[in-house]
């Protein structure tokens, strides 16, 4: 899609405004987007700031910043761009990313679909949660024998997890 303003370059920035119920969408190339924001990234900074909250303020720029081993990014780079550099960033900056992920997605743990080709071993925590759901249903249907078996399985899984 070409830029709405210059019509020459590919649009990479999409600005949607709604004023008195009238919605306008502008598709801009990086140069025109920069002009539109007054030559600065004020709009982007305020958008990213709303996702990352006070994270930028609480992680001042220093020469000794922690960097991701995979891509070399620091948390400030992620906060400014709004994008992580690689999968290792999630491990490296987990503590800083969790509040932002919770604000953006409502949770910090993946709960989406998994492709059929991928077989992932279910975590102990997931197994326990599933057994607890089954136990609750067994209690509601007054199948106390099944509920007792499920309770014992949950207890065993928790003990195994504590011993690891």
Q: What is residue 45's DSSP assignment?
A: H
Please check whether residue 136 is in contact with residue 148, taking contact to mean a CB–CB distance below 8 angstroms. Answer: no
According to the model, what pLDDT value does residue 1 have? 83
Given this model, what pLDDT does residue 38 score?
53
Give the per-residue pLDDT at 140: 93
**25: which strand partners?**
16
Count of alpha carbons within 13 angstroms of residue 152, beta-carbon side: 6
Q: Mean pLDDT in runs of 10 for the chain (164 residues)?
A: 87 79 82 67 48 47 68 82 82 83 70 62 79 93 93 90 76
Length of the chain: 164
pTM confidence score: 0.34
Phi-psi region of 14 (alpha: psi -120 to 50; beta: other; left: phi over 0): beta
List alpha helices for 11-143, DSSP H: 30-36, 42-52, 55-58, 75-81, 87-92, 94-105, 124-140
pLDDT at 120: 54
């Amino acid at each position: 899609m070409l830029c709405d303003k210059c019509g020459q370059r590919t649009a990479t920035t999409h600005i949607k405004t709604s004023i008195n119920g009238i919605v306008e969408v502008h598709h801009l190339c990086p140069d025109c987007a920069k002009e539109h924001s007054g030559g600065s990234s004020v709009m982007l900074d305020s958008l990213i700031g709303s996702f990352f909250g006070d994270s930028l303020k609480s992680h001042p720029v220093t020469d000794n910043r922690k960097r991701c081993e995979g891509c070399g990014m620091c948390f400030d780079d992620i906060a400014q761009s709004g994008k992580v550099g690689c999968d290792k960033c999630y491990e490296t900056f987990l503590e800083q990313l969790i509040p932002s992920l919770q604000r953006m997605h409502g949770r910090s743990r993946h709960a989406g679909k998994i492709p059929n080709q991928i077989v992932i071993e279910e975590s102990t925590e997931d197994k326990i949660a599933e057994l607890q759901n089954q136990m609750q249903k067994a209690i509601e249907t007054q199948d106390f024998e099944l509920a007792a078996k499920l309770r014992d399985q949950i207890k065993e899984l928790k003990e195994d997890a504590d011993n690891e």
